[in-house]
Chain A
Amino acid sequence: MIQALFFYLFAAVTIASAVMVISSRNPVHSVLFLILAFVNAAGLFMLAGAEFLALLLIVVYVGAVAVLFLFVVMMLDVDFVELRQGFMQYLPIGVLVGLIFLAELLMVAGAWVFAPEATATATAPIPDPAQVSNTLALGQLLYTRYVYFFQVAGFVLLVAMIGAITLTLRHRAYVRRQNISVQVARTRATAIEVKHVEPGRGL
């Protein structure tokens, strides 16, 4: 009962905030609604018993991606109002595409057959969720059987990072950089100068 209540709560808020993401005029509000949608979707995952996905959604999407969006929206001078001009004239074709997708989804879901032998041929059988939490189950698989792929994927990300830095980092001579040891090594003698000012004269 209480589960159903929460399901409808999360689902309703997710859909409502998703609508707000595309309809609100202020882009900052859009991103905030996006975060709300993510958090509620995480709630839905939690109800479905996928606690790892729920936490991942919060950590990765809310923690990193949404904040990144927010930075982009606030730092780039994009005129979203102008961008959205004539947005409504695309509504009929948008609705049409949406309906086609819906029909396709229904057809796929209607014809869905789960091959009975598929569970038997799986390389790692799905453990009983009552016994093992899915974080543990994923970890056991990822760091044993798939350790090779995991490490190589790590290297791919490392290459991406090195590439981004080499292709964009420029050392500009005129940028003043923070040098903590110099800052700490400052003494009163080097930092302030005492001027004797005679009364009534000024400097």
Chain B
Amino acid sequence: MTAFPDFALAGPELLLAAGALLLLLIGAYGSEKRSSLVSGLSVLLLLVAAVAVVIGRDGSTFGGAFVVDGFARFLKVLVLIGSAVAVVMTQRFAVAEKFFHFELPVLIVLATIGMLLMISAGDLIAVYLGLELQSLALYVVASFHRDDGRSTEAGLKYFVLGALSSGMLLYGASLIYGFTGHVDFAGIAAAAAAGGSTSLGLTFGIVFVATGIAFKVSAVPFHMWTPDVYEGAPTPVTAFFAAAPKIAAMALFVRVVMEALGPVKAEWQQIVAFMSLASMILGAFAAIGQRNIKRLMAYSSIGHMGYALVGLAAGSEAGIYGILIYLATYLAMTAGAFAVILSMRRDGAMTEDIESLAGLSRTNPTVAYLLGIIMFSLAGIPPFAGFFGKYFVFAAAINAGLYWLAVIGILSSVVGAYYYLRIVKIMFLDEPKGAFEPMGGEMKAVLGISGLFVAAFALVLGPLGDAALAAARTLF
């Protein structure tokens, strides 16, 4: 008989799982009025789980399938904050657009469990199960506004393409298992290192696994779903998609290639470098012509994932450090930008047109200045947060000898600055087109906090950087 596994390490996940089941019961047996209670409790649950993650201890359990280390903890806190912010921003919007059901926050919590499992995955089975738990919940959330044709279309597209990518991932995982004889990362790394030259089968496996994960990160050339899903899905759901799942998928990517495939760096480095390059360029150029702000954010997120992948292509401790800082700043910028997008309501209806931001500096100067700061940060202009993320990943790439990647990255971020600054120009220089409806209190709070974080990032870089450095070190 095997020893009883250590469940305490998975405390935050167990807490979320039990909480999700409880919320489901509250929602199912409570009256319709109580569904806002479910939202409130979900936020509380996610924040309590974040605290549990911070005070938890390191280790691995379930036969090495579940790993808790500094890296996992740092990213889990980011994911939990991202999900909590998403639930906060969803509630009022979904009620106003009449598609709110209590299942929405519960599904977000369940997706978050999947993300935490992805971040903690220590073997290929855990990778797949975590990914499926997350994706399945996301497919449903994307088509949650089921009376809206675009939402159901987004959900269906996401589901079909997501199922395809899961299939690719599974195929790659089976090849890796077949050619190394292990599903756990340590075993795969040992078998890959022992082989001397990499077998062709393992290389194929790496390609397929990278394809499957790149789909979830929406790295070019597996990004096609992103603009359509982001545009079609209900806006708060888009806000959720743009932050937490991206962070989890990136964490998974880092862990799989660094821990399992670390010894065969030459095999995956070129794949990652190519995807990073293509994502940066496509993100910069394809967003220029966009009129819809949700599509713009989709291309922007493709580009940002490209920049984060630069750090992974470097494959060094400094590169991982850069990714962690990048993801933290990306989370704050996305949350702030979507708080404004969700508040773009005029005459009781949502507008998604970028032009409708015209003259915001005169109708609502505070929001205009905060969004302006976030746009400058997204463009990577110092001294805002986005600059530091880009600086660290590019510095890591140069130290790793990937000069061309860093140069093209910097050039494409100059191109990308055009469309971010165009939004600033529309807000500050164009004639006003009438005021938006007043922002909800929770949107103000999200925008205020993220704007402040982005503006004063140089001050928090010290403690955050220490945590990120400790987290990056655990992978080496």
Residue ranges of A at the interface with B (Cβ–Cβ < 8 Å): 118, 121, 123, 140, 144-145, 147-149, 152-153, 155-156, 158-160, 162-163, 165-167
Contact = CB atoms under 8 A, between A and B. Distances in A.
Interface string B184-212: 00000000000000000000000000000
Q: Which of B63, B66, B143 has the most CB of A within 10 A?
A: B63
B310 interface: no
Contacts of A140: 1
Nearest to A167: B146
Nearest to A170: B146
A148 B1 contact: no
Nearest to B129: A152
Given A144-B1, A147-B5, A162 B106 contact: yes
A155 B101 contact: no
Contact of B136 (A144, A145, A163, A166): A163
B140 A162 contact: yes
B117 interface: yes
B113 interface: yes
A148 B65 CA distance: 8
A145 B63 contact: yes
B107 interface: yes
Interface string B426-456: 0000000000000000000000000000000
Given A149-B65, A149-B129, A163 B140 contact: yes
Nearest to A141: B2
A167 B99 CA distance: 11
Interface string B121-142: 0000110011011001101100
A162 B103 contact: yes
B103 A166 contact: yes
A123 B107 CA distance: 35
Contacts of A156: 129, 132-133, 136
Nearest to A124: B2
A22 B136 CA distance: 34
A144 B137 CA distance: 27
A153 B129 contact: yes
B394 interface: no
Nearest to A153: B129
B121 to A, nearest CB: 10
Interface in B345-388: none
Given A155-B133, A162-B107, 12 more contacts: A144-B2, A147-B62, A148-B10, A149-B65, A152-B130, A152-B133, A159-B107, A159-B133, A159-B136, A162-B103, A163-B137, A163-B140
A155 B110 contact: yes
Centre residue among A118, A152, A158, A160 by max chain B CB count within 10 A: A152
A132 to B, nearest CB: 12
Contacts of B125: 149
B140 to A, nearest CB: 4
Contacts of B139: 163
A142 to B, nearest CB: 12
A148 B62 CA distance: 6
Contacts of B140: 159, 162-163, 166-167
B5 A148 contact: yes
A149 B133 CA distance: 11
Nearest to A168: B146
A153 B133 CA distance: 8
Nearest to A122: B181
A198 to B, nearest CB: 52
B17 interface: yes
A158 B18 CA distance: 13
A148 B211 CA distance: 26
A159 B58 CA distance: 29
